[in-house]
Structure 1
Amino acid sequence: MTSYTNKLLTALTVAALSLPLSAAAATYTLTTPGTDQHAWVNAGQFEIGRFSLQSNVGDIIGLNTSVTLMDQGWGNQDPTNGVYVGLFAGETALYTLHVAGANHSWKTDDYYLISHPGDFAGINAALDNAQWNAGVTVRMYTNAWDYPGWELHTRNVTLDMSTGVLPAVPEPSSYGMMLGGLALLGTVAWRRQGRTAS
Structure 2
Amino acid sequence: MKRFFVSIIIITMVLLVACSTKDSVETQGDATIQEAKLTDFEKQFTDLLDGVSFVHDIEIKNDQVKEISTTVDVYQNGEYKDTVVEFGKGISETEKEETIRTVFLSSMLNKHDEKWMSAVMTNSGSGSGTNTYDSSEIVNLNSSAWGGITDSTPLFIGEKLPIASIVYSNKESIVMLNHFSRDEALEKQTNYEQVYILSVEIR
With structure 2 as the length reference, what TM-score do the two structures score? 0.28
Say which one has the larger Rg: 1
With structure 1 as the length reference, what TM-score do the two structures score? 0.29
Choose between structure 1 and 2: higher helix proportion.
1
Between 1 and 2, higher relative CO (CA 8 Å, sep ≥ 6) is seen in: 1
